[in-house]
C-alpha cells in the first residue's frame, strides 16, 4: 500500500510528511479545475476534490490510498479561488479586508474502489488592510498560488485576526478530518 497525494501543493505535502505518512507519492491531477456555477463553496470544494481523486486513482493500484483536496474561499456568496493575476489578487484581498470569510476544503480519500468525500469549513477574520500593504504582499509573490490570494502559514498571517475552526484546513488539508476518513478506510496513522 502506498499513499498518493493527488496534488502538487507543497503545503499539503508538508502536512502529510509531518504525520510521517509513507511511502508517499505525489501524483498531481492533470484535469482543469472548473467550478460549476450555482454551487456553494462547500459543494465546489467537494466536487473538485472528488474529480482529482478519481482521475489519479484510475492510474493507481487498487490498494493505494489516494488523497485529494481542493480549497476555496467563500465570501458573500462568491467563490475566491487562486488569483488569475496581480489585479485579481488585489481585488480579493480588498474584499477580504476587515471581514470574516469561510475557507472550505473538500477532501476525498479513495482505496480499492471505495471513496469518501467530506468538507471542512473554517472561519477566518481579516483585519483592515491598507492598499500599500496589499501591494507589498502581492509583490512577495506569495498570494499567486493560493485560494483567496493569501497564505495564513506565511506572510498572510499578518492579516489574520482570528480563526474559528481547523487551522490546517486554511493551509489546505484538514488533518483531523483526514485522520478520521483514513480510519474509516481501515488505515490508522497512529
- Which cell numbers in the block locate residue 145? 498560488
Does the annotation count 70 as an active-site position?
yes
- Spell out the alpha helix ranges (H) of the chain: 10-18, 41-57, 86-96, 131-139, 167-171, 175-184
Mean pLDDT computed over every residue of the chain: 93
Q: Is the CB of residue 23 less than 8 Å from the CB of residue 2?
A: yes
Q: What angle do CA 106, 108, 111 make, to 5 degrees?
A: 175
Catalytic residue among 61, 70, 76, 145: 70
**pLDDT tens per residue, range 79-129:** 998 999 999 999 999 999 999 999 999 999 999 889 999 999 999 999 999
Note the pLDDT of residue 30. Answer: 86
Look at residue 144 and tell me whether its pLDDT is greater than 90.
Answer: yes
For CA atoms 57, 63, 64, 66, the dihedral sign is: positive
Sorted by where each starts, the structural domains of the chain and their CATH numbers stand as 3-184 (3.90.950.10)
Q: Is the CB of residue 94 less than 8 Å from the CB of residue 137?
A: no
- Which cell numbers in the block locate residue 122? 473554517
pTM strictly above 0.85: yes
**pLDDT tens per residue, range 33-71:** 676 777 899 999 999 999 999 999 998 888 899 999 999
Amino acid at each position: 500500500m502506498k499513499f498518493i497525494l493527488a496534488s502538487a501543493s507543497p503545503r499539503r505535502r508538508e502536512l502529510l510528511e509531518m504525520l510521517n505518512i509513507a511511502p508517499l507519492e505525489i501524483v498531481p491531477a492533470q484535469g482543469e479545475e472548473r467550478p460549476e456555477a450555482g454551487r456553494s463553496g462547500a459543494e465546489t470544494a467537494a466536487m473538485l476534490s472528488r474529480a482529482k481523486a478519481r482521475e489519479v486513482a484510475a492510474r493507481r493500484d487498487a490498494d493505494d490510498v489516494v488523497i485529494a483536496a481542493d480549497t476555496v474561499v467563500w465570501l458573500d456568496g462568491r467563490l475566491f479561488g487562486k488569483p488569475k493575476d496581480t489585479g485579481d489578487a488585489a481585488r480579493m484581498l480588498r474584499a477580504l479586508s476587515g471581514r470574516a470569510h469561510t475557507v472550505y476544503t473538500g477532501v476525498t480519500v479513495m482505496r480499492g474502489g471505495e471513496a469518501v468525500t467530506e468538507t471542512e469549513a473554517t472561519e477566518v477574520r481579516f483585519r483592515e488592510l491598507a492598499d500599500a500593504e496589499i501591494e507589498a504582499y502581492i509583490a512577495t509573490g506569495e498570494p499567486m498560488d493560493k485560494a483567496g490570494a493569501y497564505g495564513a502559514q506565511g506572510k498572510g498571517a499578518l492579516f489574520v485576526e482570528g480563526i474559528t475552526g481547523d487551522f490546517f484546513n486554511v493551509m489546505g488539508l484538514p488533518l483531523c478530518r483526514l485522520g478520521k476518513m483514513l480510519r474509516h478506510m481501515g488505515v490508522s496513522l497512529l
